[in-house]
Amino acid sequence: MKKILLPSFAIFLSLTGCVSSKKFKDQTAKYNALQSQYQNCNTEKEQQAAKISSLQSEVDNLKANSTTLLNQLSNFSVISQQQADNIKRSLDNINEKDAYIKTMQLSLQKKDSLNLALVMNLKGALKDVNDQDVEVKVDGSAVFISISDKMLFKSGSYDITPRAKEVLGKVAAVVKAQPNVQFMVEGHTDNKPIKTASIKDNWDLSVLRASAVVRVLQKNYGVDPKRMIAAGRSEYVPLTANDNDNNRSRNRRTRIVILPQLDQFFQLMEPKK
């Protein structure tokens, strides 16, 4: 199973100045907790897949042993009560494990279906947007929306363009219909140095851009701020080498990571009583 490794959290900044130490620590703790949950979800899915495989092997062995036992007993005219009880327990065990395997498989399929439905809704909402400017996909346990820099911002700026606000409005409409979903907005830059009166470096620029997107989603479209995280990745997670203008343009992007509904997912995996 393919893993998705969430990025190490960089820093949170506001557009108007430095945040207090307490707010910074609170945001850092929130990010780390959500990142840990995300990684745990991927680990849990891998463990469940391995468990399904192990249980299936065990069921196959039980079936083979039961068949052998029944063949052996067919040579006798009388089966003792103890032998009959042993056969019954063995068959009951097989049926229980078969049912549990099916439940686990259906739970994983339902989680994948939820993500697929979310992707289809997003693609439907963004059908009039150029595919080169906005990419929506499922990867592992999360849904990713990648928006190009040229659509969102002017060069070297973190002011969102009017066209980008229209796109973010469509994204907001979809995520607001899924109130239990949390998501993270990541800013990414190329490796060209930047330093202005309001931007110190690419770390600054990436976080300011992520914060600008979060702010529009909250203030313009009413997305609950408790559901969002703003994060900056600077130049350090490029899609491709920063060796020409076209590649650098691809690397300048903002990515919205819609995280799994962990509580609901783990409830699906609980055995039914």
Q: Are residues 59 and 74 in the same domain?
A: yes
Q: Which residues are 254's β-sheet partners?
A: 147, 187
Determine if residue 135 is left, alpha or beta; phi over 0 gives left, psi from -120 to 50 gives alpha, anything else beta: beta
- 7 lies in a domain? no
Residue 56 · residue 109 · CB < 8 Å? no
Q: Are residues 247 and 120 in the same domain?
A: yes
User: Domain limits at 149?
Assistant: 28-44+116-262
**Boundary residue ending a domain (57, 82, 113):** 113
Number of domains within the chain: 2
Q: Which helix (H) or strand (E) holds 210?
A: helix 202-219
Residue 175 · residue 191 · CB < 8 Å? no
- 246 lies in a domain? yes
Q: Residue 119 in 3-state DSSP?
A: helix
Residues 6 or more apart in contact with residue 105 via CB below 8 angstroms: 52
Q: pLDDT tens string for the chain (273 positions)? A: 444 444 444 444 444 444 467 766 777 777 777 777 667 766 777 777 777 777 777 777 766 666 666 665 555 545 566 666 666 666 667 666 666 666 666 556 656 666 677 778 788 878 777 767 888 888 777 788 999 888 898 878 899 998 889 899 999 998 888 887 889 999 999 999 999 998 999 999 999 999 999 999 999 999 999 999 999 999 999 999 999 999 999 999 999 998 765 554 444 445 444
- Two structure tokens written together for 151: 């659509």
**Boundary residue ending a domain (82, 113, 144):** 113
Q: What is the pTM of this model?
A: 0.59
Q: Where are the beta strands (DSSP E) in 11-111?
A: none
